[in-house]
Amino acid sequence: MISTELWKGALAALPIAVAYLPVSFAFGAAASGLGLGQFEATGISALMFSGANQVFLIGAIESGLNPLLTIAICIAVSLRHLLYGWVLNDSITRNRAARSAFAFGLTDEVFGRTLAARSTGPERFVPGWLVGLVFVAWATWVGGTLLGISVGELLGAIRPDLAKALEFALPALFIGLVFASASRALLRPMLVAAGVAVAFVLADLSEVAIPVGALIGVLARRRG
């Protein structure tokens, strides 16, 4: 029974895996362009498992942003996951191990897939289905990161001149993630964040443009 539900959960995660692979690959390539090794990049993906936070983190590392401020921003950006857990609480098994695994892997996409499955599926998901769903999503994210940084390192060894192009992967990925989740409610803070980032670039402070822009955008959203 467990193996059957595990398989069903894994199959349910396939659309997530398809979406995660190119994004995690881009993150790995961006990490390579910033000088991170395979261990560091895959470790970040394995432990954080959060696209927006990971992009912000490596930007903050590059710019030398205060570690406590970096942590605070990551926590603020992730507060919505508390709401996700509250919405799904009654549909999740009481098994503590499965609940812990699901809580770790509760990304936006996993939440959406679980919510969709709940509308046509059981009143309460069994441990196997939850673990299968989260594991495939997580493994794809980590594997895509490893593939991306491996390709980046290989490119750097063969064509150092082309490898420099990977430095643009981080801002490109950041912009892509932001616009992928855009809505009318986010338009104002997005424009504020973009304006602040551009101002820092024009002031020849491009190293801190993304982290500071992200911080101001989060504050503008909370005030709005």
Q: Tell me the C-alpha distance between 25 and 17, whole Å.
A: 12
The predicted structure's pLDDT at residue 144: 93
Q: Do 207 and 193 sit in the same domain of this protein?
A: yes
Q: Do 122 and 15 sit in the same domain of this protein?
A: yes
Q: Tell me the C-alpha distance between 61 and 202, whole Å.
A: 21
Q: Do 107 and 188 sit in the same domain of this protein?
A: no
Lowest-pLDDT range, 135-139, 199-203, 220-224? 220-224
The predicted structure's pLDDT at residue 22: 84
**pTM for the full predicted model:** 0.72
Q: Do 161 and 224 sit in the same domain of this protein?
A: no
* Confidence at 146, pLDDT banded by 50, 70, 90: very high
pLDDT tens digits, 82-111: 888 888 888 888 888 888 999 999 988 888
Q: Do 186 and 158 sit in the same domain of this protein?
A: no
What's the whole-number average pLDDT of the chain? 80
Q: Tell me the C-alpha distance between 58 and 74, whole Å.
A: 12
Q: Tell me the C-alpha distance between 10 and 15, whole Å.
A: 10
The predicted structure's pLDDT at residue 184: 58
Work out the average pLDDT over 49-69: 84
- What total of structural domains would you count in the chain? 2
pLDDT tens digits, 118-134: 877 766 788 889 999 99
Helix 14-33 and helix 169-180: axis angle, to 10°? 150
Q: Do 42 and 87 sit in the same domain of this protein?
A: yes
The predicted structure's pLDDT at residue 83: 83
Q: Do 105 and 214 sit in the same domain of this protein?
A: no
Work out the average pLDDT over 187-216: 76
Residue range(s) defining the domain that contains residue 137: 2-178
Residue 1 has pLDDT above 60, yes or no: no
Q: Tell me the C-alpha distance between 224 and 216, whole Å.
A: 12
**DSSP output for 35-49:** T--HHHHHHHHHHH-
The predicted structure's pLDDT at residue 44: 93
Strand partners, 92: 125
